[in-house]
A and B are shown apart, each in its own frame.
Chain A
Amino acid sequence: MALWSEQKPAEDFYRVLAPDGTLVNEPPGLEEGELRELYRTMKLTKRFEDKALKLQRAGEVSIISRCRGEEATPLGAAAALEPGDWCLPLYRQRSGLVYWNVPLERQLVGLMGAEPETIDEHLPDDLEEPDVNFSPIYVPLGSNLPNTVGSALADKLNGRDTVSLTFVGDGSTSEGDFHEALNFAGVFDVPAVFVCQNNQWAISVPAHRQTASETFAQKGDAYGIPNERVDGNDIFAVYEKAKEAVDRARNGGGPTFIECVTYRIVEHNTADEPSVYRDEEQREYWLERDPIDRFEAYLLEEGVIDADTIDAMEDAIDERIDEAVEIARDVPTSSPELMFENHLRGTSWKERHQRAELQRELDGKNPFVDWTGEGFE
């Protein structure tokens, strides 16, 4: 059976932490507390996704895409934002969401297939909400990108010093929306940051099939946008370049495009089986470049954490996850009439009528017996 040949991307990107956790460049000036928080976020993300995977296998969650092995990219990018900024994520940026405290409960109930109204109504009121503004997760690939330009343009035209940040997969750079967005961003010189999470696969299609460009980063050149190419498994490299980009955007310096080179060491999502289309040799290579292991080695070496702090942290993380699962399970199943919510403010005859039809169907009554348009009975 044919498998895709893989091509190793060039590793002449910006790197601070080598895969073994030693420094090859100056680290960003982060306090010990901030370093521990970044580390904790990666671990929490990983353990949360492990849990979600178990829930998926048990049938409580229908499908999940993990960012396992890619945690440093969304995390480093999102950590560069300030409260009040905007982030428009896709489905593989969980570490960024976790960093800004998008409640785990909210994420879980979403994965459980509830309607957004159910989530809003039934989650405890005292859940901490994020200080960064998050859009809903985008699923149609590329569609987030022009919206990010618009979000940033709105800030620019109103003289606000807010930054909008979004992500794009290697595969999704092939969509027209990507090119249109970068072009608009360049022309309007908006305060936006585009982070390409190049995990080298788009479901079964390898990145070398998406572009004939040598790098994704260089696509920024075509649109007159400053660009960077960094080791996406190196939290320091991602953070530093994202921070530069966010600061520049905030100070009127316009957009930046950052390619973060990482690898999808796991399945595309829980419906996928990668061994069908790729060999696992590359995976082994990238496992040795794991973002969490690398950062952990550094922090241990620097004495920022030790075996005891890790144990205590893991216990606290697991407790937090268990609590979130319990709260999520307590949220009732969405009721069917919620399908009608939030369409044109519910003022139409048609909506009233179809709501009544659905209710009759649920009550075991015939919904097709209004012969006058004046209602049932």
Chain B
Amino acid sequence: MNDTRTTDGETTERNLVETINRTLADEMRNDASVRLMGYDIGPIGGVYRTTEGLYDEFGGDRVIDTPLSENGLLGTAVGMAMRGERIVPEIQFMGFFYPAFGQFMYTLVKMHERSGGAFDVPMTVRMVCGGGIKASEYHSESTETFLVHTPGVRVVYPSGPREAKGLLAASIRHDDPVVFMEHKKLYRTHREPVPEEEYTLPLDEARIARTGEDLTLISWGAMVRHAETAADRVDADVEIIDLRTLSPLDIETVLESVKKTGRCVVFHEARRTLGLGAELTAVINEYAFDRLHAPVQRATGYDVHFPGNQIEEAYLPDPERAQYAIEAVMNYEF
């Protein structure tokens, strides 16, 4: 998929919920094989209201409320996708994705490869993730590592409404299975101008959110805005990469940037151990070692289960944590 945005189109201020809702509707109008599946997506319009109004417009054969089973949902969606339907299942909370791990590992990520490319599984699993709204443990998880560790599935993670629109349209139109991460904290906290025109964005290209010369700050999802705040506060010229797609990784953009700046911080909400920061650090170590002025640092969540409401703020990475990591790396001396 290409970046098909024109530059001078009309825009409207929208939040992520509205953007996802409108993009789903656009894609459903464009292609009769696009169907939404999940529990609580029909008359209620999703517990976050991302599918509001779609049941009324498209009916129960296009917006399909399923029994309460994640594995049943995902497995049925794969079967439909094998037969040419374009299914968009919703996983209401990432912390409740795990019952579906069987179908995810056995069929969703494998069907294309095991059939020697004969079968496509064109589906976009909308995965509601992330913490910060005091919803506690299971309702706050960021375990994208499980997904990224698995070959055969794209993992897409928008940092805001404008990116989300093009990335979601591209995901739905793509013949590969995609997990589309929706950080619930982003749903209503942030509005930005979103182009009215239809557009897609590439599903394997990172976005340079800000150019800079001193340090590369790699981030994605809800952390990108914290990264921008941190970059504003530090006394350094920070380049921010919004990965947008976690799998496949846009290694070229990462290496090009790090080779230019010589310093890097990876900033993510997920736990540190085997978080994507580990992979990025390894890749940078392998291919850009002689350009580095300092070790790559990781500013992340801690290696614990997502904690209770009273202390979630201490767990969650914030601009201060990114700022500390940037300052540590900037001040590093051999």
Q: Is the CB of B308 within 8 A of A368?
A: no
From 321 to 374 in chain A, residues with beta carbon under 8 angstroms from any chain B beta carbon are 333-336, 338-340, 343, 350-351, 354, 357-358, 361-362, 366-369, 371
Contacts of B307 in A (CB 8 A): 115, 336, 338-339
Q: How distant is the Cα of A130 from the Cα of B283 in the complex, in angstroms?
A: 54
How many residues of B are counted as interface, with CB atoms below 8 angstroms from the partner's CB atoms? 49
B282 within 8 A of A: no
Contacts of A172 in B (CB 8 A): 68
Q: How distant is the Cα of A350 from the Cα of B137 in the complex, in angstroms?
A: 21
From 65 to 122 in chain B, residues with beta carbon under 8 angstroms from any chain A beta carbon are 65, 67-72, 95-96, 98-99
Per-position 1/0 for B114-158, Cβ under 8 A of A: 000000000000000000001111100000000000000000000
Per-position 1/0 for A126-139, Cβ under 8 A of B: 00000000000001
Q: Is the CB of A371 within 8 A of B68?
A: no
Q: Which of B297, B303, B305 lies at the interface centre, i.e. has the most chain A CB atoms within 10 A of its CB?
A: B303
Contacts of B329 in A (CB 8 A): 368
Q: Is the CB of A276 within 8 A of B44?
A: yes
Residue of A1, A4, A140, A205 touching B95 (CB-CB under 8 A): A140
Q: How far is the CB of B135 from chain A (nearest CB, A)?
A: 7
Q: Is the CB of B47 within 8 A of A203?
A: yes
Q: Is the CB of B99 within 8 A of A142?
A: yes
Across the two chains, which residue of chain A brings its CB closest to B273? A350
B43 within 8 A of A: yes
B39 within 8 A of A: yes
Q: How distant is the Cα of A354 from the Cα of B299 in the complex, in angstroms?
A: 11
Per-position 1/0 for A1-41, Cβ under 8 A of B: 11110000000000000000000000000000000000000
Residue of B55, B314, B320, B324 touching A339 (CB-CB under 8 A): B314
Known contacts A62-B136, A203-B44, A339-B302: A334-B68 contact under CB 8 Å: no
A63 within 8 A of B: yes
Known contacts A335-B311, A371-B332: A176-B40 contact under CB 8 Å: no
A210 within 8 A of B: yes
Q: How distant is the Cα of A113 from the Cα of B139 in the complex, in angstroms?
A: 13
Q: How far is the CB of A349 from chain B (nearest CB, A)?
A: 11
Contacts of A174 in B (CB 8 A): 67-69, 72
Contacts of A358 in B (CB 8 A): 302, 314
Residue of A114, A335, A340 touching B302 (CB-CB under 8 A): A340
From 163 to 185 in chain A, residues with beta carbon under 8 angstroms from any chain B beta carbon are 171-172, 174-177
Q: Is the CB of A351 within 8 A of B39?
A: no
Q: Is the CB of A4 within 8 A of B43?
A: yes
Q: Is the CB of B308 within 8 A of A177?
A: no
Q: Is the CB of A115 within 8 A of B320?
A: no
Contacts of B273 in A (CB 8 A): 350
B212 within 8 A of A: no
Contacts of B72 in A (CB 8 A): 174, 176
Q: How far is the CB of A274 from chain B (nearest CB, A)?
A: 9
A112 within 8 A of B: yes
Contacts of B43 in A (CB 8 A): 1-4, 204, 276-277
From 259 to 305 in chain B, residues with beta carbon under 8 angstroms from any chain A beta carbon are 272-273, 295, 297, 299, 302-305
B166 within 8 A of A: no
Q: How far is the CB of A354 from chain B (nearest CB, A)?
A: 5
Q: Is the CB of B69 within 8 A of A276?
A: no
Q: Is the CB of B308 within 8 A of A334?
A: yes
B interface with A by C-beta (< 8 Å): 39-40, 42-45, 47, 55-56, 65, 67-72, 95-96, 98-99, 134-138, 272-273, 295, 297, 299, 302-305, 307-311, 314-315, 320-321, 324-325, 327-329, 332
List 25 A-B pairs, Cβ < 8 Å. A2-B56, A4-B42, A63-B135, A112-B309, A112-B310, A113-B308, A113-B310, A115-B311, A139-B137, A140-B99, A140-B138, A172-B68, A174-B68, A175-B69, A202-B68, A203-B44, A209-B65, A210-B68, A276-B43, A333-B310, A335-B311, A339-B311, A361-B314, A368-B297, A368-B299
A interface with B by C-beta (< 8 Å): 1-4, 62-63, 112-115, 118, 139-142, 171-172, 174-177, 202-205, 209-211, 271-272, 276-277, 333-336, 338-340, 343, 350-351, 354, 357-358, 361-362, 366-369, 371
Q: A113-B308, A368-B299 are in contact. List 18 more A-B contacts (CB 8 A).
A: A112-B309, A115-B307, A118-B310, A140-B98, A142-B99, A171-B39, A175-B99, A202-B68, A205-B39, A205-B68, A272-B47, A276-B43, A339-B304, A358-B314, A366-B324, A366-B328, A367-B324, A368-B297
Which 5 A-B residue pairs are closest in the complex by CB-CB distance? A113-B309, A336-B314, A204-B44, A174-B67, A368-B328
